[in-house]
């Protein structure tokens, strides 16, 4: 069996059953599942120098997950669950990376991963029903199955600020932070961007820099993360009850075993009760404020406004300067329709003498100059600029990979008006191409490790089904894709979620087609749909060029 270990020289690497792209949470589990449980020969390509994916690249100070770590972790191995100890409720990036390295060691994954190697093209050859994958290290490899574990937030957006190259100081991106520690002591630092990454990095840099200038275009609704040391008693409880906890997590739309106290309507609640509910969820932290209070917050604008108003008041209470507070208060879109960041000391950071907020809505950023950032008002002289400007989310990582399906059709052409998938897992015209947590699946609105496990399990079951029947190819029918796209749009349109300009809709990337890219029907319902389709012999899919057994029988 060929191997993809680092001894492999550039050139023709040979034939595999499956090529997996990416060695983050998704790629690691896909390798384990396909190689160790299905017995396939698997080659993994990873652009980073180690395992970790998102958690390899986003190593900026303050980077941390915002789903509780005992949930934001694999569930597939009870031994792994039992042996790993989380030190904090919400683990920081170094700890998550240590965890993923532990997983790679435990399951002996590295020997089949080619690091520092980026896939630059993947072409489907119809006559042989194989994918040919080429890398920037001149590897060429063929496989029956191509499994993309490329992540949803792995293609950084670097805004084309006029003059960016002219900046004489240091330029950093949160999404590709240097490996060596960055020391901002005595520096004048500018951070551009106040999404989740900016909101995590700003309080950290503020503690070190001589002067921090935050350039904010759109204020966010950030609620407290509620982090702290992991309570040993709670850790013991989790380990004793992991099975139940995971089962409950999987039945929750966020993938976390919240207490199921969510009430139907914020509007029906007595205002005092509602305030107490919001106060309690605020204090408890995590996504409880959004997901565990009232179920109409993302459906009814007036209901949403009750939560938004509560958060605005909280921002005003935390920020001493009323003018700065007003600039930090979001008022142009409903709460939760941009990915809501969770914060630790973010708003209070603006009370520090060394921190200045620049409101880019009233004084737009004109250009980057040699000495810093020029807005319509002035030039901010800086030693370092940190870009926390986000990602070409969901579709970006796939479209940058140069994928071509039947008849040489590029994925970019196929998705020129937005992503088109069945279940967010497969694309018509691209046989045997599987996307883990792809667009139009619950993905980023569910707990990612569980979303990944669900998808990898489905993919693995599908491949097993094909192999047992000597079926060479599977792809969704054009009709099933059209139905899924319209189903996902219909659900999204019944919510407030498209009302903001966000990476959920592609609005953050100039020229990107607008489409809501996450399935909003909830992970439990979604999982049931996926299971039903598989149980019906892959209804809606074409096997070896013919409709699935279920459709032939009807």
φ, ψ dihedrals at 410, nearest 5°: -80, 150
* Closest distance of CB 346 from ligand NA7, Å: 12
Q: What is the Cα–Cα distance from 6 to 518, expressed in whole angstroms?
A: 36
* Closest distance of CB 109 from ligand NA7, Å: 24
| Stretch 191-220: interaction string toward ligand NA7, x if CB under 6 A | -xxxxxxx------------------xx--
- Of 21-29, 99-107, 188-196, 224-232, the window that binds ligand NA7 (rule: CB under 6 A) is 188-196
Closest CB to ligand NA7 among 41 and 304? 304
Strands 113-114 and 42-45: parallel
Determine contact, residues 342/200, Cβ cutoff 8 Å: no
* Closest distance of CB 84 from ligand NA7, Å: 22
- Contact call for residue 508 and ligand NA7 (CB under 6 A): yes
* Closest distance of CB 396 from ligand NA7, Å: 12
Residues 6+ apart with CB under 8 A from 240: none
Site for ligand NA7 in 441-480 (CB under 6 A): 444
Q: What is the DSSP string of 313-356?
A: HHHHHH-SSHHHHHHH---SS-TTSS---EESSHHHHTTSTTEE
Q: What is the Cα–Cα distance from 199 to 192, expressed in whole angstroms?
A: 11
* Closest distance of CB 133 from ligand NA7, Å: 27
Determine contact, residues 343/206, Cβ cutoff 8 Å: no
* Closest distance of CB 518 from ligand NA7, Å: 11
Determine contact, residues 177/529, Cβ cutoff 8 Å: no
Closest CB to ligand NA7 among 388 and 542? 388
| Stretch 360-399: interaction string toward ligand NA7, x if CB under 6 A | x----x----------------------xxxx--------
Q: Which of 521, 545, 543 lies closest to 424 in space, CA to CA?
A: 521
Residues 6+ apart with CB under 8 A from 256: 67, 68, 71, 249, 286, 287, 291, 447
Determine contact, residues 17/37, Cβ cutoff 8 Å: no
Closest CB to ligand NA7 among 93 and 422? 93
Determine contact, residues 369/167, Cβ cutoff 8 Å: yes
**128 burial level (CB within 10 Å; 0-12, 13-18, 19+):** exposed
* Closest distance of CB 337 from ligand NA7, Å: 11
Closest CB to ligand NA7 among 56 and 107? 56
Query: What are the start-end ranges of the H helices in 319-447?
Result: 322-328, 346-349, 396-399, 411-414
Determine contact, residues 375/363, Cβ cutoff 8 Å: yes
* Closest distance of CB 387 from ligand NA7, Å: 8
**Single residue of 107, 124, 415, 503 touching ligand NA7 by CB under 6 A:** 503
Site for ligand NA7 in 274-303 (CB under 6 A): none
Which residue has the closest beta carbon to ligand NA7? 195
Closest CB to ligand NA7 among 47 and 146? 47
Closest CB to ligand NA7 among 403 and 444? 444
* Binding residues with ligand NA7: total (CB under 6 A): 21
* Closest distance of CB 321 from ligand NA7, Å: 21
Q: Which residues bind ligand NA7 (CB under 6 A)?
A: 153, 159, 192-198, 217-218, 339, 360, 365, 388-391, 444, 503, 508
């Amino acid at each position: 069996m060929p191997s993809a270990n680092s001894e492999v020289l550039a050139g023709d690497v040979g034939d595999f059953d499956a090529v997996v792209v990416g060695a983050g949470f998704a790629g690691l589990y896909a390798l384990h599942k396909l190689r160790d449980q299905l017995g396939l020969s698997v080659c993994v390509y990873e652009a980073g120098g180690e395992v970790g994916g998102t958690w390899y690249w986003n190593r900026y100070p303050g980077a941390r997950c915002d789903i509780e770590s005992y949930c934001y972790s694999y569930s597939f191995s009870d031994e792994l669950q039992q042996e790993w100890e989380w030190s904090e409720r919400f683990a920081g990036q170094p700890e998550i990376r240590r965890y993923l390295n532990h997983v790679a060691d435990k399951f002996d994954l590295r020997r089949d991963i080619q690091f520092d190697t980026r896939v630059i093209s993947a072409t489907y050859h119809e006559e042989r029903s194989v994918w040919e994958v080429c890398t920037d290290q001149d590897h060429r490899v063929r496989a029956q199955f191509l499994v993309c574990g490329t992540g949803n937030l792995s293609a950084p957006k670097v805004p084309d600020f006029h003059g960016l190259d002219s900046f004489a100081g240091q330029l950093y991106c949160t999404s590709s932070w240097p490996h060596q520690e960055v020391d901002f002591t005595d520096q004048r630092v500018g951070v551009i961007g106040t999404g989740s990454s900016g909101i995590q990095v700003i309080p950290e840099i503020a503690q070190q820099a001589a002067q921090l200038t935050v350039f904010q275009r759109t204020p966010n609704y950030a609620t407290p993360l509620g982090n702290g040391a992991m309570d040993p008693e709670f850790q013991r409880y989790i380990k004793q009850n992991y099975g139940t906890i995971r089962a409950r997590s999987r039945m929750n739309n966020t993938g976390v075993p919240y207490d199921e106290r969510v009430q139907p309507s914020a509007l029906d609640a007595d205002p005092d009760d509602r305030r107490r509910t919001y106060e309690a969820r605020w204090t408890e932290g995590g996504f409880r404020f959004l997901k565990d209070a009232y179920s109409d917050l993302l459906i009814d604008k007036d209901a949403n406004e009750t939560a938004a108003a509560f958060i605005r008041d909280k921002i005003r209470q935390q920020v001493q300067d009323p003018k700065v507070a007003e600039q930090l208060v979001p008022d142009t879109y409903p709460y939760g329709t941009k990915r809501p960041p969770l914060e630790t000391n973010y708003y209070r950071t603006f009370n520090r003498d060394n921190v200045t907020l620049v409101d880019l809505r009233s004084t737009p950023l004109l250009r980057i100059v040699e000495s810093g950032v020029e807005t319509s008002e002035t030039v901010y002289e800086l030693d370092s600029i940190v870009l926390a400007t986000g990602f070409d989310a969901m579709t970006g990582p796939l479209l940058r990979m140069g994928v071509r399906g039947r008849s040489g059709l590029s994925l970019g052409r196929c998705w020129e008006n937005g992503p088109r998938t069945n279940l967010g897992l497969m694309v018509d015209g691209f046989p045997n191409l599987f996307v883990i947590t792809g667009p139009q699946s619950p993905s980023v609105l569910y707990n990612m490790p569980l979303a990944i496990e669900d998808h990898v399990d489905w993919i693995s079951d599908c491949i097993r089904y094909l192999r047992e029947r000597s079926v060479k190819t599977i792809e969704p029918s054009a009709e099933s894709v059209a139905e899924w796209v319209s189903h996902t749009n219909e659900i999204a349109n019944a919510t407030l979620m498209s009302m903001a300009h966000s990476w959920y809709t592609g609005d953050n990337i100039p020229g990107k087609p607008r489409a809501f890219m996450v399935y909003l029907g909830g992970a439990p319902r979604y999982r049931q749909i996926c299971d039903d389709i598989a149980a019906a012999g892959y209804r809606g899919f074409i096997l070896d060029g013919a409709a699935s057994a279920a459709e032939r029988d009807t």
